[in-house]
Amino acid sequence: MGTATGIIKALNSGIKHLAVKRFTLRYPEQKLKFVGDGYQFDPESGVAIAGLKGRHMLFHDHCTGCQLCSIACEGVAEAIAMVKVPDKWGQNAKSIMPQIDYGKCVFCGLCVDACPFYALYMSNDYELSSFTKEGLIYTPAQLQVKPQVQQDSELIIDKRGARHG
């Protein structure tokens, strides 16, 4: 193949893509849809359920304050601290629950694997940026709130290529 033919072929290959739909996702307007409601773990079978590893969800009515999540995090990021909570729960004698610092968390999900009481899950919320470092520390009360997420954009593959819609 001559040099000219090769260059023309290369240019042609690029020009063909003018007709292809845009693949990029327009992020703040469009958000990618994820599988399920986030990463969860079933301690009975010892297997997790697939989902996005985003911000944690803490179920106050299940948490016993056993600190296993905090111990699991010690070797990873030291992001979990156990703090006192004002309300009294029957199963939680010491009234301590995890507080997570997202400035340190690496979203590995080993804390979720460590929880034997179905109290700590991860959710689809990944927009956690804050102007201050203190804003990244989520108290047990903040972790209890179910995130409002609107993620509906999915990958579509057809004859004209791949796009998000």
Partner 1 sequence: MAEQVIPTKKMPPGLQVENVDDRIMTLNVGPQHPGSGHMRIIVKIDGDYIVDADPDPGYVHRGEEKMAESRNYITNIPHLERPVIHDSCNILYPYVLGVEDLVGIEVPERAKYVRVIAAELNRCIYIQYWLAIYGIFLGHSTMFMWPAGDRELLIDLMEKITGARVTHAYFIPGGVRNDVPANFEDVCLRQVNYFEKRIKEYADIFYDNPILKARTEDTGVLSREDAIRLGTTGSVLRASGVDYDLRIKEPYDVYDELDVHTNVLKSGDSYARSKIPWLDMLESCNIIRQALEKMPKSGSIRTKLKPNPKGREDEVYRRVESGRGSAGCHIISRGKPEPYRLKLSVSSFRNLIALPYLLKGEKLGNMPAVYWSLNYWPVEADR
Interface residues toward partner 1, by CB under 8 A: 1, 3, 6-7, 9-10, 12-14, 23-24, 32, 34-36, 38-39, 46-53, 72, 74-77, 106-110, 113, 122, 155, 157, 162
Cβ-based nearer residue to partner 1, 13 or 132: 13
Torsion of CA 159, 164, 152, 110, to 10 degrees: 110
The per-residue b/e assignment along 45-58, b for 16 or more CB within 10 angstroms, e otherwise, is eeebeebbbbbbbb
To partner 1, the closest distance from the beta carbon of 137 in angstroms equals 20
CB closer to partner 1 out of 1 and 19: 1
Looking at beta carbons only, is 75 or 90 nearer to partner 1? 75
Tell me the closest approach of the beta carbon of residue 105 to partner 1, in angstroms: 11
Indicate the residue among 121 and 138 with the shorter CB distance to partner 1. 121
Nearest of 122, 42, 112, 41 to residue 70 by alpha carbon:
112
Rounded least distance, CB 165 to partner 1, Å: 14
Asked whether the CA dihedral 89, 107, 25, 162 is positive or negative, the reply is negative
- Which distant-in-sequence residues (6+ apart) come within 8 Å of 27 by Cβ? none
Contact 140, 99 (CB under 8 A): yes
Smallest gap from residue 86 Cβ to partner 1 (A): 31
